[in-house]
C-alpha cells in the first residue's frame, strides 16, 4: 500500500488532537507533582553550567539534559548563590535546596518551568512515532499507537519531571532508529547522523556506553543487510571510524566547554577543591594512582578529555555504595508488565504470536519490528545483569519500543477481512481497558500500577519509594 507523503487535513486534526491530550496530561502532572528528591540537583546544576559555566555540581551525570531543563530559567531573574558556603564547598544537596527554595520564585514554579523542555521532547517523540507507524502501516494504526503513547503512564511520569532518564530515552531512541535507517538505505548521511546522535546520547547518561556493545550486536544480527555495503566500502570503513571518533570527541569538548582538557589528570584530581579527602571514592582513586605504576604514569600525561567528564565516569567506577548485584528475572519482568496497561500487554502477546507464526521471507528486507525486539531484550537484560535495576526509570528506554511493537497486531486487526463493526468493537474495547487502567491515577501517574498486579503480586517499587530508599522525602 502506497502512503502519501503529505498529511491530509484529517491527519493533521488527529495529530493535533492527540498531541493536545498529551500536553494537557503532561502539564497537569508537571504542575501538580511535588518536587522530587533529585530534581533540585539536576535543575541547579544545569542552571550553573549554563549561567556560570561551572561544572562542579552534579558531575555524576553528563550535562546535556540538565542544561536543557534549566534553559528556560535563563530568561527569569534567578539568584545563583555564588557566595553560599554550600557552593564554595560543593555541598550539592544543601546548595541545590538553598538555590531552589530560597530564590526569587517558588520552588514549585521553578520546577514546573524546568519540566517543560522534557515535555517538549515527549511531544516530538510522540509525533515521530505517529509518522513512523503511518508510513509503515496506516493512519488508523498510527493514531491508536500515538494515543497509547500519549496516555502511557511511564511516558507521562518521566517526561514531566526533571530527570535525565527521559532525555536518555529520547536520544537513544533516535540513535537506534537512525542506525536502522542506515542499515535499510545504506546512505552515509544516516551514518553520520547516527554518529552525532550517539554522541548526544552519551552526553545524557553515562550508561549509554552500553551502545558500544549493543550496536556491534545489531550489525551482526543484520549482517545480511550489510554484506554488500561492507564489500564495497572496505577502504572507507577506517574513514568512518575516524569520523565517529572525531565527532564524539568534539561533541564532548563542546558541551563540557573544554574545562580541564589537556591537563594531567593527577594534577586536576589532587588539586580539585570540591572533593572531600575523606571520601571513600577519593581514597580508592588515590590508592589506584599511587599503587599502580601504569595508571600513575598515564595520569601524569595531559588528558585530552575534560576533567569533569573523567570525574563523572570515575564516580561510577569507584562507587562504594552497597547495592544488590543480583538479577531477578521474574521481578524485573513483573515490574515492566505492571507498568503497562492490560491492552498493551495483550497486544504484545499477540505480536509475539504473529512473530512465531509468520512466514520467513527469503528477501533481504529490513525488519524493524524484530530489531525493536532485539533492543528491548538487550536493555532489559543489560540493566538487570549490571545491578539492581528493577526500578521503572532504569528500564524507561524500552517503553517506546514496546508501544511500537503493538503496531503490528493493531495493523493486522485493521487490515483483516473481518467485519468492520467487529474491528471497531475490538479496538474500542482495547482503548476502554487502557483508559480504565490509567484514569484513577490522573495526574499522579508515578503511582500507576496496572490492574494485573492483582494477578501476579505486588507492584515493583515506584518513583517515590525509590527516592525514599535513598533517604529522601
Q: CA torsion angle for 288, 90, 63, 317 (degrees, to 10)? A: 20
Nearest to 332, CA basis, from 375, 299, 380:
380
Report how far residue 306's alpha carbon sits from residue 239's, in angstroms, rounded to the nearest whole number: 25
Report how far residue 141's alpha carbon sits from residue 410's, in angstroms, rounded to the nearest whole number: 6
pLDDT for the residue numbered 470: 41
CA 363 to chain centre: 33
Domains in the chain: boundaries: 265-309, 329-468
Ramachandran area for residue 342 (φ above 0: left; ψ -120 to 50: alpha; else beta): alpha
Query: φ and ψ at 111, to 5 degrees?
Result: -65, -40
C-alpha torsion sign, points 302, 308, 313, 314? positive
Q: Which residues are CB-neighbours of 119 under 8 A, at least 6 positions away?
A: 23, 26, 27, 30, 159, 160
pLDDT for the residue numbered 42: 93
- If you search the block for the grid coordinates 551525570, which residue do you land on? 61
Q: How many helices (H) and strands (E) does the chain have?
A: 25, 2
Return the SS3 of 64: helix
pLDDT tens string, the chain, 473 residues long: the values are 344 568 889 999 999 999 999 999 999 999 998 888 789 999 999 999 999 998 888 888 899 999 999 999 999 999 988 888 888 888 888 889 999 999 999 999 999 999 999 999 999 999 999 999 999 999 999 999 999 999 999 999 999 999 999 999 999 999 999 999 999 999 999 999 999 999 999 999 998 989 999 999 999 999 988 888 888 777 788 889 999 999 999 999 999 998 888 888 888 888 877 777 677 777 778 888 888 888 888 888 898 999 888 888 887 766 655 555 455 566 677 778 778 899 999 999 999 998 887 766 555 678 899 999 999 999 888 876 654 445 667 788 999 999 999 999 999 999 988 888 899 999 999 999 999 888 888 888 888 877 655 554 444 444 455 445 444 44
The length of the chain in residues reads 473
Nearest to 207, CA basis, from 67, 376, 326, 382:
382
Helix residue ranges, H only, 211-260: 211-221, 223-232, 234-255
Ramachandran area for residue 106 (φ above 0: left; ψ -120 to 50: alpha; else beta): beta
pLDDT for the residue numbered 472: 43
Return the SS3 of 321: coil
Quote the crossing angle between the two packed helices 342-357 and 368-385, to the nearest 10°.
120
Q: Cβ distance 96 to 50 under 8 Å?
A: no
**Cis bond before residue 443 (omega within 30° of 0):** yes
Report how far residue 158's alpha carbon sits from residue 450's, in angstroms, rounded to the nearest whole number: 17
Nearest to 212, CA basis, from 226, 201, 227, 222:
201
Which CA distances in Å does 307 have to 62, 89, 207, 249, 269?
12, 18, 18, 13, 8
> CA angle 387-248-243, nearest 5°?
130
What's the alpha-carbon Rg for the chain, to the nearest Å?
A: 24
> CA angle 13-14-19, nearest 5°?
100
Nearest to 39, CA basis, from 140, 114, 144, 151:
114
Report how far residue 131's alpha carbon sits from residue 129's, in angstroms, rounded to the nearest whole number: 5
Q: What would the grid cell of residue 185 be?
A: 538505505
Q: What would the grid cell of residue 266 be?
A: 593527577
pLDDT for the residue numbered 431: 94
pLDDT for the residue numbered 459: 42
Query: Residue 264: beta bridge partners?
Result: 302
CA 154 to chain centre: 12
| Beta strand spans in 100-239 (E) | none
Amino acid at each position: 500500500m502506497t502512503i502519501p507523503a503529505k498529511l491530509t487535513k484529517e491527519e493533521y486534526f488527529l495529530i493535533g488532537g492527540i498531541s493536545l491530550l498529551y500536553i494537557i496530561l503532561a502539564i497537569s502532572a508537571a504542575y501538580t507533582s511535588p518536587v522530587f528528591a533529585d530534581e533540585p540537583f539536576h535543575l541547579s546544576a544545569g542552571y550553573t553550567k549554563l549561567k556560570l559555566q561551572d561544572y562542579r555540581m552534579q558531575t555524576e551525570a553528563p550535562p546535556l539534559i540538565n542544561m536543557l531543563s534549566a534553559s528556560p530559567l535563563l530568561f527569569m531573574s534567578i539568584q545563583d548563590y555564588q557566595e553560599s558556603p554550600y557552593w564554595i564547598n560543593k555541598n550539592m544537596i544543601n546548595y541545590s535546596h538553598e538555590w531552589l527554595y530560597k530564590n526569587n520564585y517558588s520552588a514549585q514554579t521553578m520546577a514546573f518551568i524546568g519540566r517543560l523542555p522534557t515535555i517538549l521532547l515527549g511531544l516530538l517523540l510522540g509525533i515521530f512515532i505517529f509518522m513512523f507507524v503511518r508510513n509503515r502501516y496506516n493512519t488508523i494504526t498510527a493514531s491508536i499507537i500515538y494515543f497509547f503513547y500519549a496516555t502511557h503512564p511511564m511516558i507521562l511520569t518521566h517526561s514531566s519531571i526533571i530527570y535525565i532518564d527521559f532525555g536518555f530515552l529520547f536520544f537513544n531512541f533516535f540513535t537506534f532508529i537512525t542506525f536502522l535507517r542506515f542499515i535499510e538505505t545504506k546512505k552515509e548521511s544516516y551514518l553520520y547522523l547516527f554518529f552525532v546522535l550517539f554522541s548526544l546520547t552519551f552526553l545524557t547518561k553515562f550508561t549509554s556506553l552500553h551502545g558500544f556493545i549493543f550496536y556491534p550486536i545489531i550489525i551482526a544480527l543484520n549482517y545480511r543487510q550489510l554484506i554488500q555495503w561492507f564489500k564495497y566500502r572496505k577502504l572507507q570503513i577506517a574513514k568512518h571510524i575516524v569520523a565517529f571518533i572525531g565527532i564524539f570527541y568534539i561533541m564532548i569538548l563542546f558541551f563540557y566547554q573544554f574545562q580541564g582538557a589537556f591537563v594531567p589528570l593527577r594534577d586536576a584530581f589532587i588539586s580539585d577543591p570540591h572533593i572531600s579527602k575523606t571520601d571513600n571514592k577519593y581514597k580508592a582513586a588515590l590508592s589506584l594512582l599511587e599503587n599502580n605504576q601504569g595508571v600513575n604514569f598515564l595520569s601524569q600525561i595531559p588528558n585530552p578529555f575534560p576533567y569533569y567528564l573523567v570525574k563523572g565516569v570515575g564516580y561510577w567506577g569507584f562507587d562504594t555504595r552497597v547495592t544488590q548485584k543480583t538479577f531477578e528475572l521474574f521481578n524485573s519482568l513483573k515490574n515492566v508488565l505492571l507498568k503497562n496497561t492490560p491492552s498493551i500487554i495483550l497486544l504484545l502477546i499477540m505480536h509475539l504470536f504473529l512473530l512465531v507464526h509468520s512466514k520467513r521471507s527469503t528477501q533481504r528486507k529490513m525488519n524493524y519490528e524484530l530489531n525493536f525486539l532485539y533492543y528491548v531484550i538487550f536493555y532489559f537484560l543489560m540493566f538487570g545483569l549490571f545491578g539492581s535495576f528493577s526500578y521503572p526509570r532504569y528500564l524507561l528506554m524500552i517503553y517506546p519500543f514496546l508501544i511500537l511493537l503493538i503496531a503490528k497486531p493493531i495493523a493486522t486487526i485493521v487490515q483483516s477481512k473481518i467485519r468492520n463493526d467487529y474491528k471497531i468493537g475490538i479496538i474500542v474495547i482495547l482503548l476502554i481497558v487502557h483508559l480504565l487502567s490509567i484514569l484513577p491515577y490522573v495526574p499522579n501517574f508515578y503511582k500507576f500500577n496496572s490492574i494485573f498486579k492483582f494477578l501476579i503480586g505486588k507492584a515493583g517499587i515506584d518513583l517515590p519509594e525509590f527516592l525514599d530508599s535513598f533517604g529522601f522525602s
